[in-house]
Chains A and B, each alone.
Chain A
Amino acid sequence: MRHRSRLIAPILGMGLCSLLLAGCGWSSGETTEQEAKEEKASHGAMDMGHEKKSQKPARSAEVMAPSTEVVIDNFTFDPPKLTINPGTKVTWINHDDVPHTATSSVKPRAFDSGTLDTDQKFSFVFTTPGTYDYFCAVHPKMTAQVIVK
C-alpha cells in the first residue's frame, strides 16, 4: 500500500505538467532551435518558426498575441475550417509520420510553410480579412481553410 501511494504523487505531478504544457501550446516562434528558411513570397506579417522536437520546450516570457493551432495528423488538417480574428497567429504542427506542407492555394502564395517533417511547425499571422484556402503540396487531396473576419 505504502509503495503505491509513493508513486501516485510523482505520477500526478507529471500528469499536471503535461496538461499545462499542452494547454499553453508552443506557439511562440522565438524558442530554441530555430531553423533558417529560404525567403518565400508572402503577404502580411509573417512569423516563421521551425522547431524540431525538444525534450524541454522553453516558453517565451513575452505577452503572446492571440494564437491558435492546426494539427496535421493522419493526412488531415485539424480543424479543417478555422475562423479567427485579424492579427491572430496560426501555428501548424505536423504530428504525422510523413512530411506535409500548409500551402495557400492561390498564386502568388499567401503563405507556404515549406516542408514540415514530423514535429516541425510553421506559424503565420493573418492580418487581412478573407478566406484563405490552403492544401498540402505533397498530398494535394488534403485541403483546409482559414477564415479571417
Chain B
Amino acid sequence: MTKRIVHDHHHDGIDRRGFLECMAWVGTGIAWTVTGGVLSSRVFGQDSGQTKKGDFTFVQISDSHIGFSKEPNKDVVGTLRATVDRINALPAQPELLIHTGDLTHLSKPDEFDTVNEVLKSAKVGRVVYVPGEHDVFSDDGKQYLDRYGKGTRGLGWHSFDHKGVHFVGLVNVANLKPGGLGTLGTDQLDWLKRDLAGKADSTPMVVYAHVPLWTVYAKWGWGTEDSEQALGYLKRFGSVTVLNGHIHQIMQKVEGNATFHTARSTAFPQPEPGQAASPGPIKNVAADKLRGMLGLSRVDYKENRGALAIVDATLDGAAKDG
C-alpha cells in the first residue's frame, strides 16, 4: 500500500477502511496458525469443538483385576463400574474401548463373567482386549481365548482398521521365561511385519499391549525384551501411539513419531519404580484418596492432525495427568 491514508473522513490521519483491510489479513493468519498447531489437553468432559466426520474418540482402560479383594481396594467391581459411568458421561460417545489387560486377577471363569457383565453397560461402539499375565497364567490362556480369541492369533494378537487408523493389539505375556521381561516372540513379530507391509507411512498407528513396550523398570519386569524389533517396523509411520498397562500408573514418553503412554488401573495403584520393595499394590491408601489414583484415558483422533491427544482422568472426577 503506497498511499496508506486513502480515506480520511475524520481528518485525524487514520484510515479506518484501510486499517480494516489490513486487519482482515492478520485475522486469517491467526486462524491458520491455530489449525495447524499442536493439540492441547482439554479438561476431561469438555467437548472438543469442531468435529469432522473422520474424527473420533476412543477410551483405554486397564488392569481391572476382577477377583482381587485386598487393601487398598475390596471392591474392584465397584471401581470398574465407576469407570464405565465416567465413559458413559463423555460428551462424545467413544467408538472404541480398549482394555489393555489383567481383566481378571486369577483368570477364573466367574471373574471373566463379571468383566463382561460390567462392560456390557459401557456405551461404546466396540470393545477390544489384549490379555495381561493374570488372564493367562493359570490355564495357558484357555479361558481368555474361549472368550476373546475369535479372529485373533496366538494368545490373542490382532489388528483392524477404524476410520483410516490402524489398530494393532499385541500380546507380550505368553511364554514368559524365568528371569525375563514381557515377550512378543518370533511368530508374532513375523505376523506384525506382514500386517504392516503395504500400509502407507501416513497411516496413523495405534498399538496396544499389556506390558510396556519400552523398558520402564527392568528390575520389576516392566518392559518387553524383544520390542525393539516391533518398534523398528513402526518407525516409518508418521504417527504412532503406543498404549500399555501393567504398571498401574501413568508414564509417558515421546520418541520420534511415537508417543508411549501407560494407563492407571481401575483396581489399585502400584508404586513408582524403585519406590518400594516390590511392585505389589500400594496398601496404605486412605479410602477417600483411592479413586484419585485409579482412572481411564480418553484418546481423541482428529483427521490429518498427527499425534493423537491423550487425556487421562481419575475416577474422582479430576482431569489429572500422570
For chain B, what secondary structure do more than half of its interface residues adopt (helix, strand, loop), or is it mixed?
A: loop
State whether B281 touches A141 (Cβ < 8 A).
Answer: no
From B173-181, B251-259, B301-309, the one touching the partner chain is B173-181
Chain A residues contacting B178 (CB-CB under 8 Å) are: 105, 133-135, 140, 143
Which residue of A97, A99, A117, A134 contacts B71 across the interface (Cβ within 8 Å)? Answer: A97
**Interchain CA distance A76-B281 in the complex, whole Å:** 15
How many residues does chain A have at the interface if contact means C-beta atoms less than 8 Å apart? 22
**Interchain CA distance A135-B181 in the complex, whole Å:** 13
State whether B176 touches A97 (Cβ < 8 A).
Answer: no
**Interchain CA distance A137-B106 in the complex, whole Å:** 12
Q: Does B126 contact A (CB under 8 A)?
A: no
**Interchain CA distance A17-B180 in the complex, whole Å:** 42
> In residues 97-146 of chain A, which contact B (Cβ within 8 Å)?
97-99, 101, 105, 114-115, 117-118, 133-135, 137-141, 143
Which residue of A74, A97, A117, A137 contacts B137 across the interface (Cβ within 8 Å)? Answer: A137
The residue on A at minimum CB distance from B277 is: A74
Chain A residues contacting B71 (CB-CB under 8 Å) are: 97
For chain A, what secondary structure do more than half of its interface residues adopt (helix, strand, loop), or is it mixed?
A: loop
Q: Does A96 contact B (CB under 8 A)?
A: yes
**Interchain CA distance A133-B71 in the complex, whole Å:** 32
- Which of A99, A135, A141 gathers most chain B CB within 10 Å? A141
A75-B279, A98-B280, A134-B178 are known contacts; what are 14 more A-B pairs with Cβ within 8 Å? A74-B277, A96-B280, A97-B70, A97-B280, A115-B138, A117-B106, A137-B176, A138-B133, A139-B221, A140-B180, A141-B179, A141-B180, A141-B220, A143-B179
Interface residues of B (CB under 8 A from A): 70-71, 105-106, 133-134, 137-138, 176-181, 219-221, 277-281, 283
